[in-house]
Every structure is written in structure tokens, then in C-alpha cells.
Amino acid sequence: MRQFIERHTFWAIVILLAVAVFLWLIFAVWPEWLIDLMGRKKTFVNTLLNGLTLGGLYFLVASGFTLIFGLMRNVNLAHGSMYLLGAYIGYEVADASGSWFLGLAVAFIAIAFSGVVMQVLVFRRMEGDDLRQTLVTIAISIIAADLMLAVWTGTTYQFAPPEWLFGATQLPVVSVIRSSGDAVYIVYPIYRLAVLGVAVAVGIGLWLFLNRTRIGMMIRAGVNDREMLAASGVNVQLVFALVFGIGAGLAGFAGVIGGTALSIAPGEDIRYLLASLIVVIVGGLGSVTGAAIGAVLIGLAEQFGLAYFPTYGVVLTFLIMVVVLALRPQGIMGGR
């Protein structure tokens, strides 16, 4: 942080001023001219929180994609199908057992196992052949989509979260001051805040796993120099299968989280695959921190686009990707 400030003093001042303005917009009572310009403060704050929680959900999906595509350079375009399949499996287990947490655990384990099988049977035989990986995983995603449609039909499903996550909580953010002088505070769904908390916890856990553990060092070493790691006595294929399983399991985990926050329906696999691709491209290949930044940017762009520019909201996401690729082709946190 200190090095950044010393090297980029101007940008550090700009960022500091932007953070100050941002905090003022959240916690201050808006004057009339600002309400006329931007609409109600409640709309702005809710849109901001929706963007952050959607970004958290995108990160949960993209974090697994970051491990598989960004770190291991395996082109798995069936990642979205893993998300949707995990959501369906989690729903069936939770519905049969009455335990949301059991559905979450089974979805993670089942999709992680399917990821290990895919790595052993598909990717291990096509290492370094990006075109074949792309074509095969597209075929797998199409077959999986049709099979899921045959089993679960086109019905939209939604989880019921645990009772203690139901309802909304009051935030320490004043929406408006009534004529009587009483403050009206903003309330927000507890579950969506929990999604954001889980995303932060997963992000920190992944960063520590990759940067502070022996296995994480093996993974990074295997990506950079597989032959040298194998020569040191490490079973590289076992390490890669483990990473692929974790990445796939995170997709299934995110399927349950996302299916509870939003819904489970055909087509969600394509949506989250596309979101994961954009997040990884914007954030930088192989960077967990970059994936988090990219996910937040994309989530905020989608929600603010829907709230303030509904006609052109979709364009904002791709505009961010174009600008990042033009100014920093390796992504925000990607290495050169």
C-alpha cells in the first residue's frame, strides 16, 4: 500500500477522494438537489447492496473458474452446468432432508467429485490442447443442459434458507428524515448480507490456501513448471485433480447459495458461465483478488445499469471488459 501511494500519488489522492464521496453518499442525509439528480437515497443504497451481493455470488462461481481456467489453464466451458447441477442436487437433498446445510454440503461434494472425474477422463488426456478442451466441454454442457431439463423440466425452483436467515435487518444508514424529525433507516434482507459475508470468507480462505499453504505452493509451482515439480517427487496429476475438484465444488456450492438468493431454472448455467468468463478476464487470469474485484465491478454495473439505465444496462458489463482489455490486457490483477 505504501509503495502504491509513493509511486502513484495522484491516483492515491483520487481514490481517497472517491472513497470519501462514496461514504458521504451512503451515510449522509441527501439534500434536495441530490434527490432531484439521482432519485431517492433508498434506491441508491439498495442498488449498491444488490450489486455487492450479486458480485459476491459471481465471485463464488468465478473463484472456482479462476482455479480451473485462470490458474490451471484448463478451458472448462461446462462450469456453468456444474453450477446449475449443484443447485438442483442441493435442492433435492434439502427438500428430502429438510436441512439446507446438508443440501449445501452434498452439492459441494457431488460436484467436486464430478470435477475430479472430468479432470481425469477429459482434461488429463487433452493437456495443452485448448481447442479440444473447448469443444468437448461445450458438448458436455449441452448434454448436461438437456439431461437436467429432462429430469427437472422447465420449472423454476427456489430454496428456503434457514429460519435465522429469513427476514430483513435494519442498517445504520438513514434513508430520509421525516417532517417530525424521526429518522427512517434502510432495511435489507439478512440472507443477501450473508451471501456477501460467505463470499468474503471464501475469498480470504482461497487466498490463504494458494499463498500460505504447502499445497498452494505446489499448485503455483505446477502451473509454472510442471516437469520440475514432478521431478521433485510431487504427484502433479493428483494435485491438479484436487484443484479441479475444489474449483468444481465451489460451482456447486455457489449453485445452492445462488438458488436460495434468486432461483434455479434452465438457462442459469449460461448466465453464470458468461459472468465467470467476464470476471476472470477483467480481474486477471489466476488471481483470486482480481476475481473479487472483477466480480464486484460486474455486479455493480449490472444493478446500477438496471436501476438507472435500464435500456443500456447490459452494455455496461461489456463496456467494463472492453476498457480493461484496452488499457490492461492481462486484467486488473493479472501478471504480465
- Res 198 pLDDT > 70: yes
Residues 305-328 have a mean pLDDT of 86
Provide, rounded to the nearest whole percent, the portion of the chain with pLDDT above 90: 39
Q: How far is it, in rounded angstroms, from Cα 255 to Cα 109?
A: 12
Tell me the pLDDT tens digit for each residue of 82-108.
Answer: 999 999 999 999 999 989 999 999 999
- Local structure of residue 290 (DSSP, 8 states): H
- Cell 475430479 belongs to 116
Residues facing residue 177 across a β-bridge: 183
* Total-model pTM: 0.91
Q: What are phi and psi of 149, to 5 degrees?
A: -65, -35
Mean pLDDT of the chain: 87
Q: How far is it, in rounded angstroms, from Cα 113 to Cα 58?
A: 22
Tell me the pLDDT tens digit for each residue of 111-153.
Answer: 999 999 999 998 888 877 888 898 999 999 999 999 999 999 8
Q: Which helix (H) or strand (E) holds 173?
A: strand 168-177
CATH topology of domain 42-327: ABC transporter involved in vitamin B12 uptake, BtuC (1.10.3470)
Domain limits, the chain: 42-327
Q: How far is it, in rounded angstroms, from Cα 332 to Cα 283?
A: 5
What is the predicted pLDDT for the residue at 223?
67
CB of 59 within 8 A of CB of 279?
yes
What is the predicted pLDDT for the residue at 250?
93
Tell me the pLDDT tens digit for each residue of 239-294.
Answer: 888 888 999 999 999 999 999 988 899 989 898 988 888 998 898 877 888 899 99
Provide, rounded to the nearest whole percent, the portion of the chain with pLDDT above 70: 95
